[in-house]
Amino acid sequence: MKFIKKYIAQNFSNFTFFYTIVRSRLLVVLSLAILTGLLDSLGLTMFLPLLQMSDGSSKVDLGNLNFINDFLQFFNIQLTVIKSLIILVLVFALKGIIIYKTGIYRVLTQQILTKKIRLNIINEFPTYSYQKFVSTDQGKIQNIFLGEINRLSSTYTNYVSMIQGAILIFIYMLFSFVVDWKFALLVCVGGFLSNLIFDRINKLTKEKSRNISQVNNAFANILIQYVSNFKYMKATGEILRYRKKVEEAIDKVQYENLQISILNNKVSAFREPMLIFIIAAVIGIQVYFFDARISLIMVSLLFFYRALIGIVNIQSSYNNTISNQGAIDNIMDFYKDMIKNREKVGKREYKGFKYDIKIRNLNFSYGNIPVLKNINLDICKNRTTALVGESGSGKTTLVNIIIKLLNPDSGEVLIDGVNLNEYNQFTYQQRIGYISQEPTVFNDTIYNNVTFWATPTEENLQKFQEAVKRASIAEFIESLPLKENSLLGNNGINLSGGQRQRISIARELFKDVEILILDEATSALDSETEKQIQQSIESLHGDTTIIIIAHRLSTIRNADEIFQLHKGEVIAKGNFNELIERSEVFRRMVLLQEL
């Protein structure tokens, strides 16, 4: 039993993979292939009475296929040349209709497969662990969404063609054995021996397929960096040096694709001549050693010719399938990784908090490196709380735990006494606004950036206008020819740093968030812009719970409470003036920044 399971797992894993996605549609496609094979075989059988009657024979002898003649006589149909030709035309016409319907249905199934694979990955993405995501090659993720799924679609087409071809070959071989089993057996033995020659090539092709997935992942990653860091590399002249990395990656992709093409062409070039040689040898043996009837050999040969075409097509489909096998492996590995690193979703709907967020005995590590140690602090509703400390002190990690991007190793985050893990994180995170040093700007219009693609109803347009005014960017928008319909470009390339930051603030104001996170939000801005944005933020004081991560202490002068972190521990707390008195480290930071 274990051997059977292992054999199925090794040889039918692709069938199982496709079947779990398209379900019974795959069986329908294969059933239509069986019907096609039976109709084709019936049509080919009609050549036997035609050959016999062309020799002047008045009696039709179909040999072991005489049950077809008996079936026709049951309906008082006596085979003649005309009737045989009519049946031949009708059968092949019906076969043509079935082939047309099969092709349409197969394309439909292929599109369903592609759509479901994309949706499965996209639907799993929201619960993918953030900690795992940041350690995953971004090029691999992009390659899976764009390149590998297209390769998978091609794999499905070739795989189904291969199975359909196998079904047809089985039917042709079955009819051929019925007509002349000696002839059929000799051809099968010859075909088996020839197949051993190509087994090594198939293994090499499968190996090269996996190499293609790897070099495509690497190329996508390098290309992302080439585009996203274009400004820096162009400004510093490094773009020419980095271009060499891109060219090297392109060469690797080209090389691996070329290797697979060479292997495929070897198979295509030598398989058909070899099979023709085998059939010619078998016909000679049948005629000169077994004194076989030429009419039966010719009909059997028709079946084998069909089977020969099927074998050539199967080999081509098989090579194309294993050429893209790496895509299936790549997608399955990533999908399994997403499921393995799926976040647990709490069942309780988050509707806001009334009092405070308490962090108790919280610890967190990256691998074996402790980042947060026994953190205890309270964040009161509608107050401004600041986190300060040197780089690497754990400020951003602590905030990532508060907003449920990371889960602590031990300890808990309590919202009005309820553990954060009990809440559905999506309903919780929808009440959070996040503004970082590098603001998030989408390649779309100002309106869509601020409203996150909300329908432009009268109410939403009014909310939009209020949000951009409070973010001090309304005047800039009005100066643009297309106003709120102006495109911002990739990552807001058409905006200054301050304008991008204000767009981000306007988005959170439009969203009407309960908790606003400012992660070094103004550290990269000039003093005047920082002051204007600071005024926009301070206008939220008392109405929104604000958490600020700051290096520039001028941004937290008016914070209600400041927690100072050092090497993952809270070493001091209080307001700005209290910390100057209590903490020598904080006092030194203030002096260094000349506040």
Q: pLDDT digit string (tens) for 118-143?
A: 888 888 888 888 888 888 887 788 88
Helix axes 294-323, 24-45, angle to 10 degrees: 160
Residue 36, burial from CB neighbour count under 10 angstroms (0-12, 13-18, 19+): buried
Residue 582, burial from CB neighbour count under 10 angstroms (0-12, 13-18, 19+): middle
Has residue 60 got a pLDDT over 70?
A: no
CATH number at residue 430: 3.40.50.300
343 occurs within a structural domain: no
445 occurs within a structural domain: yes
Q: Tell me which of 293, 310, 337 is where a domain ends.
A: 337
Q: What percent of the chain shows pLDDT beyond 70?
A: 85
User: Would you state the pLDDT for residue 294?
Assistant: 63
446 occurs within a structural domain: yes
Q: Tell me which of 308, 337, 366 is where a domain ends.
A: 337
For residues 175 and 396, the model is more confident at: 396
Q: How far apart are CA 289 and CA 152, in angstroms?
A: 50
Length of the chain: 595
Q: 208-247: per-residue pLDDT in tens?
A: 777 777 888 788 778 777 766 665 566 556 677 778 888 8
Q: Are 586 and 388 in contact (CB under 8 A)?
A: yes
Q: What percent of the chain shows pLDDT beyond 90?
A: 20
User: Would you state the pLDDT for residue 234?
Assistant: 61
Lowest mean pLDDT among 310-324, 337-351, 481-495: 310-324
String of DSSP letters for 325-340? HHHHHHHHHHHHHHHH
Has residue 56 got a pLDDT over 90?
A: no
User: Would you state the pLDDT for residue 356?
Assistant: 93
- Residue 109's pLDDT band (cuts 50, 70, 90): very high
Query: 365 and 468: one domain?
Result: yes
Q: Are 228 and 237 in contact (CB under 8 A)?
A: no
Has residue 472 got a pLDDT over 70?
A: yes
- Residue 571's pLDDT band (cuts 50, 70, 90): very high
For residues 361 and 62, the model is more confident at: 361
Query: 153 and 300: one domain?
Result: yes
For residues 574 and 178, the model is more confident at: 574
Query: 456 and 556: one domain?
Result: yes
State the average pLDDT for the chain.
82
CATH number at residue 43: 1.20.1560.10
User: Would you state the pLDDT for residue 9?
Assistant: 53
User: Would you state the pLDDT for residue 1?
Assistant: 45
Query: 378 and 324: one domain?
Result: no
User: Would you state the pLDDT for residue 141?
Assistant: 83
3-class state of residue 216 by DSSP: helix
Has residue 523 got a pLDDT over 70?
A: no
Q: Give the tokens for residue 484.
A: 């709120």
346 occurs within a structural domain: no
377 occurs within a structural domain: yes
Query: 316 and 362: one domain?
Result: no
Q: Residue 563: what are its φ and ψ, rounded to 5°?
A: -110, 125
Q: Are 283 and 297 in contact (CB under 8 A)?
A: yes
Query: 325 and 365: one domain?
Result: no
Helix axes 149-179, 294-323, angle to 10 degrees: 160
Query: 204 and 243: one domain?
Result: yes
342 occurs within a structural domain: no
User: What are the residue ranges of helices labelled H in 367-471?
Assistant: 395-402, 425-429, 446-451, 458-470
User: Would you state the pLDDT for residue 15?
Assistant: 85
Q: How far apart are CA 113 and CA 398, in angstroms?
A: 41
Q: 554-563: per-residue pLDDT in tens?
A: 888 889 999 9
Residue 280, burial from CB neighbour count under 10 angstroms (0-12, 13-18, 19+): exposed
Q: Are 249 and 158 in contact (CB under 8 A)?
A: no
- Residue 464's pLDDT band (cuts 50, 70, 90): very high
**Which of 309-318, 416-425, 491-500 tops mean pLDDT?**
416-425
Going by C-alpha positions, the residue among 590, 565, 591 that lies closest to residue 576 is 590
Based on the structure, what is the number of domains in the chain?
2
3-class state of residue 301 by DSSP: helix
Query: 161 and 59: one domain?
Result: yes
| Mean pLDDT within 20-39 | 89
Angle at 446 (CA atoms; ends 441, 448), nearest 5 degrees = 80
Q: 441-461: per-residue pLDDT in tens?
A: 888 899 999 998 889 999 999
Has residue 57 got a pLDDT over 60?
A: no
- Residue 371's pLDDT band (cuts 50, 70, 90): very high
Query: 476 and 328: one domain?
Result: no
- Expressed as residue numbers, the domain containing 552 is 356-592
Going by C-alpha positions, the residue among 317, 136, 326 that lies closest to residue 212 is 326
For residues 282 and 245, the model is more confident at: 245
Query: 474 and 520: one domain?
Result: yes
Query: 384 and 420: one domain?
Result: yes
Across the beta sheet with 569-574, what order do the strands follow? Answer: 432-436, 515-519, 545-549, 384-388, 561-566, 569-574
127 occurs within a structural domain: no
Q: 161-181: per-residue pLDDT in tens?
A: 888 888 888 888 888 787 777
Query: 213 and 75: one domain?
Result: yes
232 occurs within a structural domain: yes
| Mean pLDDT within 257-282 | 74
- Residue 414's pLDDT band (cuts 50, 70, 90): very high
